[in-house]
């Protein structure tokens, strides 16, 4: 097997993996902030990384799809890349990936309208990013010919486990926030 025969597929797969890792890191940073694991000052320092990684992930996922246009074996065509569940290759799995990309785009573009939307509504729109993350991971597991490789399987399941634990902690109200020290009656006197 000559890897140069699969250049476009390899480049696309690499871009998809980079995108998934970037978005996994975005999810972890966002959940660390929501769980108040770090001080507000540290959260403020991490926020630009959260935002830049999100854009990096979105760009890598866009590259993942665009590079497939040049793949002579897959030959998805523009329709196959834009309309979910229409690609000839594993239509269900590729359709999930396309839906994940649309969720990411909708949420990503809403960032620039967050003042107009309102901060509370915009924060609740983060659910679209979570849906996209899950759909993207399932897409990678079902559509990727290398999905069974220990490295890729470890990356996907590792992020799913970490994010799942953090989401559960958020849902059940676990927080890194330390309770304020109570003043004793003696020290107040």
pLDDT digits (tens, 9 = 90+) for 107-127: 888 888 888 888 888 888 887
Confidence of residue 72 (pLDDT cuts 50, 70, 90): confident
Q: Over the chain, what is the mean pLDDT? A: 88
Which pLDDT does position 129 carry in this prediction? 85
Instruction: Please give the residue that has the higher pLDDT: either 127 or 141.
Output: 141
Rounded Cα gap, residues 50 and 46, in angstroms: 6
Which pLDDT does position 128 carry in this prediction? 78
What phi-psi label fits residue 28: left (phi over 0), alpha (psi between -120 and 50 degrees) or beta?
Answer: alpha
* pLDDT tens per residue across span 8-34: 999 999 999 999 999 999 999 999 998
Asked if pLDDT for residue 52 goes beyond 60, the answer is yes
Average pLDDT (77-101) is: 94
Residues above pLDDT 90, as percent of the chain: 63
Which pLDDT does position 177 carry in this prediction? 65
Which pLDDT does position 24 carry in this prediction? 96
Question: Which of 163, 188, 171, 181 lies closest to 32 in space, CA to CA?
Answer: 163
Which pLDDT does position 4 carry in this prediction? 74
Which pLDDT does position 186 carry in this prediction? 46
Which pLDDT does position 178 carry in this prediction? 53
Token pair recorded at residue 6:
């699969």
| Residue ranges per structural domain of the chain | 3-172
Q: What is the DSSP letter of 5?
A: G
Alpha-carbon dihedral angle through residues 9, 70, 132, 25, given to the nearest 10 degrees = 60
Instruction: Please give the residue that has the higher pLDDT: either 182 or 154.
Output: 154
């Amino acid at each position: 097997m000559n890897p140069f025969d699969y250049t476009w597929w390899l480049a696309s797969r690499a871009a998809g993996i980079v995108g998934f890792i970037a978005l996994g890191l975005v999810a972890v940073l966002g959940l660390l902030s929501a769980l108040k694991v770090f001080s507000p000052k540290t959260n403020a320092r991490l926020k630009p990384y959260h935002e830049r990684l999100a854009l990096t992930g979105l760009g890598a996922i866009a590259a993942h799809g665009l590079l497939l246009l040049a793949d002579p074996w897959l030959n998805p065509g523009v329709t196959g890349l834009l309309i979910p569940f229409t690609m000839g290759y594993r239509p269900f799995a590729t359709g999930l990936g396309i839906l994940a990309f649309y969720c990411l785009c909708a949420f990503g573009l809403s960032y620039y309208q967050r003042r107009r939307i309102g901060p509370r509504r915009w924060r609740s729109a983060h659910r679209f990013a979570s849906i996209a993350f899950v759909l993207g991971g399932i897409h990678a597991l079902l559509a990727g010919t290398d999905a069974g490789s220990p490295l890729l399987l470890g990356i996907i399941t590792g992020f799913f486990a970490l994010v799942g634990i953090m989401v559960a902690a958020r849902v059940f109200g676990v927080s890194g926030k330390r309770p304020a020290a109570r003043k004793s009656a003696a020290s107040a006197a």
